[in-house]
Amino acid sequence: MTTSKKWNRKEVMRYLIDEWIKPIAVALVLALVIRTYFVQAYKIPTGSMRMTLLENDKILVDKISYRFHGPHRGDVVVFKYPLDPKKDFVKRLIAFGGETVEIKDGAVFINGKMLEVPGTIRKNYYYNREDWPYGRMGQQFEVPKDSYFCLGDNSAQSSDSRNWGFVPKKNLSGRAFLIWWPPKRISLIN
């Protein structure tokens, strides 16, 4: 003779809440907190950062370290696009507020001196664009206080600070640090 326990409606609801709803709610809150304050995933839609980042690469962005220290020249940063803050852009940070910038013969000059370090910036060829407000041949300009000048590594195919101007400090979301997809491209971002 077997005995089976009959569940009443109250017990079923308590079981569902304790075993399913509470753990799922905790997981969702944790995921939201992590995404908002610590790390967020992004997908690269264009080739503006080739060869560092390719179309459809998926990256992780560190959103917390800039709360403790400022960004460094050469960091690959994610920020709210100044002309449409609903869009996120990813570019390389080239210059800080108060610095004078000139692009000449494919190289970037900061305060009259060619950037040699970090090496990644020097490896890229940055084009002058005569039809854009910044970066024309022979043009020197100063980056406004509390702003950054950012360029795409694929300078010929990048709409960047040469076109739309400077990135306000408040728009900076974080530093891209890892390509996590596709598997064959998993690597740290220089």
| CATH fold for the domain made of 40-188 | Umud Fragment, subunit A (2.10.109)
Give the span between the Cα atoms of 184 and 125, in whole angstroms.
Answer: 26
| pLDDT at position 3 | 56
Whether the link from the prior residue into 183 is cis, omega within 30° of 0, is: no
pTM exceeds 0.75, yes or no: yes
Give the span between the Cα atoms of 48 and 87, in whole angstroms.
Answer: 15
Q: Which amino acid is at 186?
A: I
| pLDDT at position 159 | 95
| pLDDT at position 118 | 62
Instruction: Extract the residue ranges of the chain whose pLDDT is less than 70.
Output: 1-5, 33-37, 117-119
> Residue 43 is encoded by which pair of tokens?
């997908």
Catalytic amino acids?
Answer: 48, 91
Backbone dihedral region of 146: left (phi > 0), alpha (psi from -120 to 50 degrees) or beta?
Answer: left
| pLDDT at position 119 | 65
- According to DSSP H, which parts of 69-144 are helical? 119-123
